[in-house]
Amino acid sequence: MSDTGSIAILLSFFITIYSLVVCAFSAKTGSRAFARSGGNGIVSVAFLLLVAVCCLVYELVTLDFSLRYVALNTSTDLPVIYRVTALWAGQAGSLLLWSFVLSLYAAFVVLRSREKGGDPYVNAVLCAVSLFFLFLIAYVEDPFEKLGVSVGEGRGLNPILQNGYMAIHPVTLYIGYVGITVPFAFGIGALLSGRLGDEWIRNCRKYALFSWMFLSAGLLLGARWAYLELGWGGYWAWDPVENAAFMPWLAGTAFLHSVMIQERKAMLKKWNMILLVITFFLSIFGTFITRSGIVSSVHSFARSDIGPLFVGFMVLILVFSFALLAYRSKDLESEEKFDSPLSRESAFLFNNLLFLAAAFSVFLGTIFPVLSEAFTGKKILVGPPYFNAVGVPIGLVLILLMGVGPLVSWKKASTANLKRNFVFPAVVFVVVFLALLVSGMREPVALLSFALCGFVAGTVFLEYFRGIRVRSGRGENPVSALFNLISRNRRRYGGYIVHLGVVLLVTGITASSLFVTQKEVVLDKGDSFSLGRYDVVFRGVRFISNDAKDGFSAELSIESQGKSVATMYPEKNIYKYEGNREINQETEVALRSTFRDDLYLILSEVDRSGKVNIRALLNPMVNWIWAGGIVIVLGAIVTMWPERRRKKEFSA
């Protein structure tokens, strides 16, 4: 099947060139035949890349070690599910996945816009971006490259990738990452065609929200994977590859808010274009960071020659986009002005600036080691102290704005109304702040963060309460009023659900970052220690062995208030096969999770006498982070849910 896969990729490359040319031609001449042909080419590429993906999966599952990619990323001991997920374990497979997801998006755009005649400018931009990635997999990182020698065993999949979350995290993230290409294509298409009315921004918003939702989910799934697999007790380390996905998320969030201003007030048109270009650029930059290995990271499992090609592509994106923007600058003048600094528009603009500042600070921190090494020869690492020092203040102000924004109206808010609207959320802020202070909390960032989360929650509650009250005043019962409030104002009230999810997320992050308790102990059989409300007793260690690994598992009984609540088995394993794994030892953490806290146990060492070195952490409220992620996704779905439209008849 490898030859079929290779042919499918090559054919995709040439058909994309064809589609790009005919779309550009049809844009110039208005020819429907060429537009249709270009669109069909785009749909064909999606089919061909599906074939290529299926071929590679087939080769991975059947362990065809004659292929370099299969030999590098699988082994005979690998369970079938991880042979499938090996599709995105390596460079070439990841690039194939990128191309495939993009082809699906492009095909969807073509098919959806077909009844309106399609937009050849948008299609041409999608082809141009696809062409770059297809070139990479056709000529630089071929997933079907033959090994040239016969081998009986593969090098295997890194054990830390053998985890359920790693099965879905990359795909989810890619749907988000790659999806940013579509709004970018609509924006550039609008600049190319000169049709800078409302249509492009409406199309942009829908696709941007869809990809943002998946990017959010992908980031959190990755954090969850890191928490479970990397075994250091945390979920976010400001790793370059984590930052690579976080930056477009920050810029994308700014864009989603800013778009609302353009839709309602025809303002910030230039700004939105710039934001869109920046968001797309950051998604490509993020791919470059991950794929080129330019910044070393626990995530960067491969290094290759694609770095210079990516740099060239990024330069082209920036130069082309900003040149077009400059050319169309006059057509992007705002139709209205800001009426007042005390308005939702102003709050959104301030929110934009902060998100961009955050994205820029993360960008700077991520590339600084590369720049320092390039200019001084010394690699200066930038870690959590920098990112937290910059990110925390920005984050706190953003949470405040998240609460303020819904309280002010479009155009301007009168002082009297502001005072009235702020009372309840302000009271919640003060109550939370004082309650925590009285309980003994003194950490200022935590106090402020929790109190601001209370403020935002108060705002959201007030919006829902008042909205339900208004509808109940019209005769609806509260349940119907709530349902109708959401269903008839999906963007607004779905957005509030997203904000509530962010509140849960931030609460969880604050608690788990600032109030971790940990201990490192050496235990003999029967020894115990206490951590928070838990008493942990070491019952013994046993040797475990299977086809893939040998290792030790420690049995630890967990008690709370004298009652047995769990038995936990942290492991330390040694994988049998060497190879491209930088680590052949891996710890499997044992985790007891509740909404209150997580008991996180790591088996660091086992000595000959059977004593174990256990590192134990009590991480408060980590589950609030994952719960917040679920609420964010639900809120995004509500926002995107189709609204009923009446049938329209166009007639003379």
Contacting other proteins within 76-135 (CB under 8 A): 112, 115-120
By C-beta, is 65 or 144 nearer to other proteins? 144
Residues in binding contact with other proteins, number by CB under 8 A: 74
- Residue 582 Cβ, how far from other proteins at the closest point, in Å? 36
Report the distance separating Cα 78 and Cα 75, nearest Å.
5
Stretch that binds other proteins, among 166-174, 216-224, 393-401, 404-412 (CB under 8 A): 404-412
Should residue 442 be labelled a site residue for other proteins when binding is judged by CB under 8 A?
no
* The one among 409, 560, 584, 604 contacting other proteins by CB under 8 A: 409
Report the distance separating Cα 445 and Cα 164, nearest Å.
34
Should residue 19 be labelled a site residue for other proteins when binding is judged by CB under 8 A?
yes
Per-residue CA distances from 425 to 173, 419, 522, 644 (Å): 35, 11, 49, 34
Are 191 and 328 a contacting pair, CB within 8 Å?
A: yes
Report the distance separating Cα 146 and Cα 619, nearest Å.
47
Should residue 408 be labelled a site residue for other proteins when binding is judged by CB under 8 A?
yes
By C-beta, is 12 or 243 nearer to other proteins? 12
Task: Determine whether 28 is exposed, middle or buried from the number of CB atoms within 10 Å of its CB (0-12, 13-18, 19+).
Answer: exposed
Should residue 466 be labelled a site residue for other proteins when binding is judged by CB under 8 A?
yes
Q: Which distant-in-sequence residues (6+ apart) come within 8 Å of 536 by Cβ?
A: 528, 529, 530, 556, 557, 558, 559, 599, 601, 614, 616
Structure-block tokens of residue 187: 């924006």
* The one among 296, 304, 417, 528 contacting other proteins by CB under 8 A: 417
- Residue 495 Cβ, how far from other proteins at the closest point, in Å? 12
479-498: which residues touch other proteins (CB under 8 A)? 488-489, 492
Place of tokens 């109708």: 484
How large is the angle between the packed helices 120-135 and 307-327, nearest 10 degrees? 160
Q: Which distant-in-sequence residues (6+ apart) come within 8 Å of 38 by Cβ?
A: 18, 19, 20, 22, 23, 26, 120, 123, 124, 127
* The one among 145, 146, 264, 305 contacting other proteins by CB under 8 A: 264
* The one among 146, 420, 533, 542 contacting other proteins by CB under 8 A: 420
**CA geometry: angle 95, 101, 105, nearest 5 deg:** 140
208-227: which residues touch other proteins (CB under 8 A)? 209-210
Should residue 602 be labelled a site residue for other proteins when binding is judged by CB under 8 A?
no
Report the distance separating Cα 466 and Cα 68, nearest Å.
62
The partner residues of 264 in beta bridges, in order of sequence, read none
By C-beta, is 116 or 330 nearer to other proteins? 116
Should residue 233 be labelled a site residue for other proteins when binding is judged by CB under 8 A?
no
* The one among 41, 154, 187, 233 contacting other proteins by CB under 8 A: 41
Kindly calculate the radius of gyration of the chain based on its CA atoms and give it in whole angstroms.
27
Stretch that binds other proteins, among 38-46, 249-257, 352-360, 375-383 (CB under 8 A): 38-46
- Residue 270 Cβ, how far from other proteins at the closest point, in Å? 21
* The one among 110, 124, 413, 631 contacting other proteins by CB under 8 A: 413
Should residue 145 be labelled a site residue for other proteins when binding is judged by CB under 8 A?
no
Should residue 636 be labelled a site residue for other proteins when binding is judged by CB under 8 A?
no
- Residue 126 Cβ, how far from other proteins at the closest point, in Å? 15
Report the distance separating Cα 290 and Cα 144, nearest Å.
21
Should residue 43 be labelled a site residue for other proteins when binding is judged by CB under 8 A?
yes
Report the distance separating Cα 213 and Cα 220, nearest Å.
11
* The one among 165, 207, 301, 575 contacting other proteins by CB under 8 A: 207
